[in-house]
Each structure stands twice: as C-alpha cells, then as structure tokens.
Amino acid sequence: SAVISQKPSRDICQRGTSLTIQCQVDSQVTMMFWYRQQPGQSLTLIATANQGSEATYESGFVIDKFPISRPNLTFSTLTVSNMSPEDSSIYLCSAGGVTNEKLFFGSGTQLSVL
C-alpha cells in the first residue's frame, strides 16, 4: 500500500492569486493523478502527472491554468492559477502502481476562493 500526504489540507484564497498543492507518497509509484471534486459532483480527472515530462491533461483542463510538476517518483505539485470562485473545490492527489488497479488517495485539499 501507499500513504499519500497532501498539503495544505485547506485554504481560503483571494481571486486572482495562485495556490500550489503538494503531494508526497511514501514509496515510489508509477502513476500519479490529480482529481477535482466539486460540491455534489463526482471526482473529475484533471491530469496525469508524468515523471520527468509534461503532464497529460484531460479535456477541459489546460497547463496554463493547472500547471503540474513531478520531479521524481514520489512527489508532485498542482498549481491552481489565477483563481476564481469557480475553482472552489476539493483537489485530490492519487497514486497507483504498475498495473494501476488500485489507486491510493490523499485526504484532499479543500480550496475556497473568495
């Protein structure tokens, strides 16, 4: 199994600012993903964080808005840029192994944008 530490756990931010969320896994993992969970909605995949290369974004998400880094096999960051109230959500980091048939999740970052 893998333990994922995500921080901050919550933050309240002003419109137009940016927030970087950090995700640390206690073991090397092949796959890391970032999800968003808006109130009353399902988890939506933002992007796959690729180690040593640019992230792969899902439809509707772009690098300028959600830049992602993954410098090694245990760490990734997601930045929410130029925030607006519509970005208020829970952001979740997840990680999986080679077969990726079991994803582990961090406890999430609850973001509120005023």
User: In the complex, which residues of this chain contact other proteins (CB under 8 A)?
Assistant: 4, 31, 33, 35, 40-45, 48, 92, 94, 96, 100-108
Residue closer to other proteins, measured from CB, 75 or 104: 104
Residue 76 CA: distances (Å) to CA of 25, 28, 51, 86 = 9, 12, 9, 23
Q: Residues near 53 by Cβ (< 8 Å), separated by ≥ 6? A: none
Residue closer to other proteins, measured from CB, 83 or 106: 106
What is the rounded distance in angstroms from the CA atom of residue 31 to the CA atom of residue 13?
29
Residue closer to other proteins, measured from CB, 4 or 113: 4
Nearest approach in angstroms of CB 82 to other proteins is 27
